[in-house]
Amino acid sequence: MGYPFQYIEEKWQAFWAEKQTYKVEQPSDKPKFYVLDMFPYPSGAGLHVGHPLGYIASDIVARYKRHKGFNVLHPQGYDSFGLPAEQYAIQTGQHPAITTEANIKRYREQLDRMGFSFDWSREVRTSDPSYYRWTQCIFSLLFDAWYDKKEDKARPIDALIQHLERFGTTDLNAACDDDTPSCTAADWHGMSVEEKQIFLLRFRLTYLAETEVNWCPALGTVLANDEVVQGVSERGGHPVERKKMKQWSMRISAFADRLLKGFDSLDWPEPLKEMQRNWIGKSVGASVRFCVENSHREIEVFTTRPDTLFGVTFLTLAPEYEWVNEITTPSQKAEVDAYVKQAAQRSERERMSEVDRISGVFTGAFALHPITNEKVPIWIGDYVLAGYGTGAVMAVPCGDQRDFDFATHFDLPIKNIFKNVDVSEAAHTSKENTRIANSDFLDGLPVAKATQKVIEALAKNGMGEGATTYRLRDAVFSRQRYWGEPIPVYYVNGQPQLIPDECLPLELPKVSKYLPTPDGAPPLGNATEWAWDTTQNKVVSNDKMDNKTVFPLEKNTMPGWAGSSWYFNRYMDAHNSDAFASKEALAYWKEVDLYLGGSEHATGHLLYARFWQYFLYDFDFVPVENFAKKLINQGMILGESAFVYRIPDTQTYLSKGLCKGKKVIPVHVDVSLVSAQNELDIEGLKKWQPHFAEATFKLEDEKYIVGREVEKMSKSKYNVVNPDAICDQYGADTLRMYEMFLGPIEQAKPWNTAGISGVSNFLNKFWRLFHNGETFVVSDDKPTKESLRILHKTIAKVTQDIEQFSLNTSVSAFMIATNELTNQKCNHREILEPLIVLLAPFAPHICEELWSLLGHNESVTTASYPVANPDYLQDDTKAYPISFNGKMRFTLELSTSLSKDEIETAVMQEERTQTYLDGKTPKKVIVVPNKIVNIVV
């Protein structure tokens, strides 16, 4: 008989809810600890066993920290704006808010069954107007801000205006789009209001600009760079094309360097930092200008290897390069036009799949080398990207493999500028142990030194300077969708104006359809009430629109990452209606101490959230620069899909063992129809999907054996395991511990329900420690020394494991302890009481029950964590130094029950000792079994 987990779990979940056991208040005289999970998008499919993995781990830490005397903030909420609810709305006409509400309800039920210690009084939902009001407010703050590179921080736009009024752009170093505009103070004063607005828009941290965006026709929206994976949309895998559109953007590029440097103080996983570094893509080098012969034009290139400047034998421009036409000679014109046209037609995808193909065309024009003044031909090639650097490169075939390949293909000269290096077969790209040759004043210099000298020389003749470029682009912030935060902006004469703060939230309007309008406007274009009345400061009907006081509102909405870029601050003071969180709450909780979530958010959410936090910090809205001190990426739990094998064009399915050498089509079947021994329930299958009813199954040993494959858990692969089913069968405590037991938290691992019986057995055994048959019995007698040793060993191990986040091994430690105590027939209160507290973070329900059976009236949550007594931890062995012939020194680890003399005698008398001590042989020795363990030099 197992312990009555069902009764116990229901009882204590109700108790916690009623007593608000996990509600947290601030301030408090306890030290604070903030442990947070990345909040989920509540999808219609509900939770599968993979979702709670991180929640269980963070819950264990939260409960552990409470026992340790911390005031623990452990909240949960929902990232509830998102595509699926909108697509469901398009199909059914049901408002996404209704779908979302229903999904949240289901999520909550599932989460509650697992006994999490969330403080639900602080729940947030990004789609709730009382929440997105502040998302809109932060948008407005970003709009009214610019980035001062001199002070390296974001500042109010008023400060910029003041500067412009007094000095114009003189002495201004601000983040801006490509070419920083310049004006004098007089110019500024001469501008009309509208001109000033247009001018300022180029500095704002959120700005409206004609940008080349990733347009996904299938989804009918633009996507941020991180939402495009290998040329197709991350969601749905639809093709994505480049398109120019007027869009809101966030000037994240202004923060590139700080995002890069900020890692130093962050305890985040190295691979994740690396991903963000790659994404930001900082390259240090120089920008160099080449004059075009017989033209006033200059071609500016960016290079990371200015030291190879004397190896330049041609320039290459991207096909989209701005004034290709202008410099092309008449004789080359036809060829260039054809090439440019053809390159434009090649999709992003084609270009990527044909990376090996070399193509290009000569423009007929020549540029002049900025130092030698030699003529170098100007080519066009599609290996040069318009979007990176300047869209032009100086080609150094001897030092860059792509330049080398291009030169070889078109028979262009290759000049070797490396000392003692052969470049006849391939380019020499290494910087180490490389000396420059054939390069005038650089001859004989190593790379670093040559780089420095060239930059100096270029600066002197005005043809270049040191430069840094980033791969990180500004983040497009407009989405042509309904189910997102409205952008709090209206337009006067085409110029964006902010909705006043006190009028927020700007709530989503009702629409008749969730699709774009026939003329291509976003779904909000369907709203009949979507105009802003500046006299009443409220949303009014579109037909009131005139050109004086009522203006059109922005129809785009914000992207998914807007609401998730600051939510961790909202939990600190979730119901504040005067600010996104009070100064006091922010000052108390500061930042997340432990953040758990998947690594798939590395270049999206986590980068944007860091950016917004830096911004809020610059404006003194938050007290810390980094929002999460420590971050852990939990690995995905994978499903084990099951397959049956169909012979093509038949309804015959072969058992796995019969498939060898035959052509078969694997078909997913529901994993719940398959036994642990991979045997298929054929009758069940026929009921599951009718088309299997007439199928024939070829068996082996009278069984149909399915094939197995580990894949991501997904409804369409029929490999989803529902945590509710596990809770029904084994209980939540077992599920919690089993998920931890499965392996290291960071690692991806397949789910296998079969193994859960081990954990289930353990909890039953643990229960039986307190029970004699059906009755609860504990002894108040003094426990044996051995029992105490077991207890304290376990306390030390489990504590250390939680601190190091090695939760799988701590589950093992509990199992070992329980087995040992069972063998000892130990049922002593002095042992079992601390053990309950130790186990409570992992299996809270059973521990609450046992704790109350022991006579405690308070929740076990209030108990303080046991501390290991070192007296019980001492090892049986001790180290003694021993010398031999005055030359060699050994350390003997041996039983403390032997005296030093006894040991020395034992060593000397041991027959093998001479061999060990003659200097050449192993020092590890067992003189007396289990006593003398080791000899080390």
Where in 484-543 is the site for RNA (CB under 7 A)?
none
For the bound state, the minimum distance from the C-beta of residue 910 to RNA, rounded and expressed in Å, comes to 16
Interface with RNA in residues 243-282 (CB under 7 A): 270-271, 274-275, 278-279, 281
What residue type is 826 in one-letter code? C
Q: How far apart, in whole angstroms, are the C-alpha atoms of residue 315 and residue 392?
A: 7
- 353 makes contact with RNA (CB under 7 A): no
Supply the minimum distance, in Å, between the C-beta of residue 631 and RNA: 14
Site for RNA contains 318 (CB under 7 A): yes
C-beta of 159 vs 352, nearer to RNA: 352
CA-CA distance, 193 to 1, in Å (whole number)?
Answer: 81
Q: How many Å apart are CA 629 and CA 610, to the nearest integer?
A: 11
Each residue 795-824 as x (binds RNA by CB under 7 A) or -, in order, gives: -----------x-xx-xx--xx--x--xx-
Span of 193-201, 206-214, 350-358, 775-783 interacting with RNA by CB under 7 A? 350-358
Which of 127, 115, 107 is CA-nearest to residue 42?
107
Nearer to RNA, 359 or 852 (CB): 359
Q: How far is the CB of 717 from RNA (least distance, A)?
A: 14
- By the 10 Å C-beta count (0-12 exposed, 13-18 middle, 19+ buried), 205 is classed as buried
If one asks whether residue 920 binds RNA (CB under 7 A), the answer comes out as yes
Residue 159 touching RNA (CB under 7 A): no
Q: Which residues of 853-867 are buried (b: 16+ CB within 10 A; e: fewer)?
A: eeeeeebbbebebbe
Query: Is 112 or 679 the residue whose CB approaches RNA more closely?
Result: 679
Helix (H) or strand (E) holding 342: helix 333-345
Indicate the residue among 193 and 754 with the shorter CB distance to RNA: 754
Q: Which of 229, 448, 579, 873 binds RNA (CB under 7 A)?
A: 229
Across 497-518, b (16+ Cβ under 10 Å) vs e yields bbbeeebbbbebbebeebbbee
Positive or negative: CA dihedral 846, 851, 852, 853: positive
The answer to the question of residue 921 lying near RNA (CB under 7 A) is yes
Tell me which stretch binds RNA (CB under 7 A): 90-98, 213-221, 393-401, 413-421.
393-401
Closest separation between CB of residue 186 and RNA, Å?
38
Rounded distance, CA 275 to CA 604, Å?
A: 11
Residue 933 touches RNA, criterion: CB under 7 A: yes
User: How many residues in the chain?
Assistant: 937
Q: Quick check: 790 and 834 in contact, CB under 8 A?
A: no
Q: Which residues pair with 469 in a beta bridge?
A: 283
Judged on CB neighbours under 10 Å (0-12, 13-18, 19+), 80 is buried
Q: Is 402 in the site for RNA (CB under 7 A)?
A: yes
Asked if residue 388 binds RNA (CB under 7 A), the reply is yes
Residue 302 structure tokens:
């960016």
| 187 versus 893: smaller Cβ distance to RNA | 893
**Closer Cβ to RNA, 497 or 809, answer by number:** 809
Phi then psi dihedrals of residue 888, to 5 deg: -100, 145
Minimum CB distance to RNA smaller for 230 or for 864:
230
Q: Report the nearest approach of RNA to the CB of residue 529 (Å).
A: 40
Contacting range for RNA; rule: CB under 7 A; set: 121-129, 379-387, 539-547, 694-702: 379-387
Q: Is 294 in the site for RNA (CB under 7 A)?
A: no
Residue 344 interacts with RNA (CB under 7 A)? Answer: no
- The least CB distance from residue 808 to RNA, in Å, is 5
Q: Which of residues 694-713 bind RNA (CB under 7 A)?
A: none
Pick the stretch among 134-142, 259-267, 292-300, 380-388 that binds RNA (CB under 7 A): 380-388
| Residue type (1 letter), 356 | D
Pairing of strands 531-533, 314-317: unpaired
- Is residue 383 within the footprint of RNA (CB under 7 A)? yes
Q: Do the beta carbons of residue 458 and residue 307 sit within 8 Å?
A: no
Token duo for residue 910: 């041991």
Q: Which of 307, 400, 474, 618 binds RNA (CB under 7 A)?
A: 400
**The two structure tokens encoding residue 243:** 């398109």
Per rule CB under 7 A, is residue 853 in the interface with RNA? no
Q: Which of residues 199-228 bind RNA (CB under 7 A)?
A: 226
Residue 825 makes contact with RNA by CB under 7 A: no
Site for RNA in 762-781 (CB under 7 A): 762, 764-765
Among 332, 714, 913, 934, binds RNA (CB under 7 A): 934
CB 323 within 8 A of CB 380: no
Interface residue with RNA among 6, 283, 332, 779 (CB under 7 A) is 283
Residues with Cβ within 8 Å of residue 325, at least 6 apart in sequence: 336
**Other CB atoms closer than 10 Å to residue 777's CB: what's the count?**
10
Cα gap 476→212, rounded to integer Å: 10
Q: Residue 170 interacts with RNA (CB under 7 A)?
A: no
Do 177 and 208 touch, CB atoms closer than 8 A? no
Binding to RNA, residues 657-686 (CB under 7 A): 676-677
Q: Concatenated DSSP letters for 802-859?
A: HHTT-HHHHHHHHHHHHHHHHHTT--BHHHHHHHHHHHTTTSHHHHHHHHHHTT--S-
Contacts 24+ apart (CB under 8 A), 352-355: 352/230, 352/231
- Contact call for residue 848 and RNA (CB under 7 A): no
Residues 417-476 that bind RNA (CB under 7 A): 471
- CB 823 to RNA: min, Å: 6
Instruction: Please report how close the Cβ of residue 62 comes to RNA at its closest, in angstroms.
Output: 22
Question: Scanning the structure block, which residue is given the tokens 């031909």?
Answer: 377
The least CB distance from residue 795 to RNA, in Å, is 16
Cβ of residue 194: shortest distance to RNA, in angstroms?
35
Answer yes or no whether residue 285 interacts with RNA by CB under 7 A. Answer: yes
Residue 496 backbone zone (phi > 0: left; psi -120 to 50: alpha; other: beta):
beta
- Scanning 169-177, 303-311, 536-544, 832-840 for contacts with RNA by CB under 7 A, the matching segment is 303-311
Positions in 735-764 near RNA (CB under 7 A): 741-744, 747-750, 752, 754-755, 757-762, 764
- Give residues 2-31 in contact with RNA (rule: CB under 7 A): 2
Q: How far is the CB of 742 from RNA (least distance, A)?
A: 5
Stretch that binds RNA, among 47-55, 327-335, 377-385, 587-595 (CB under 7 A): 377-385
Binding test (CB under 7 A) with RNA, winner from 290, 302, 551, 589: 302
Those residues whose C-beta lies under 8 Å from the C-beta of residue 546, and which sit 6 or more positions away, are none
Could you tell me which residues come within 8 angstroms of residue 494 by beta carbon, excluding any fewer than 6 positions away? none
Least distance in Å: CB of 304 to RNA? 4
Q: Are strands 241-250 and 206-216 parallel, antiparallel or unpaired?
A: antiparallel
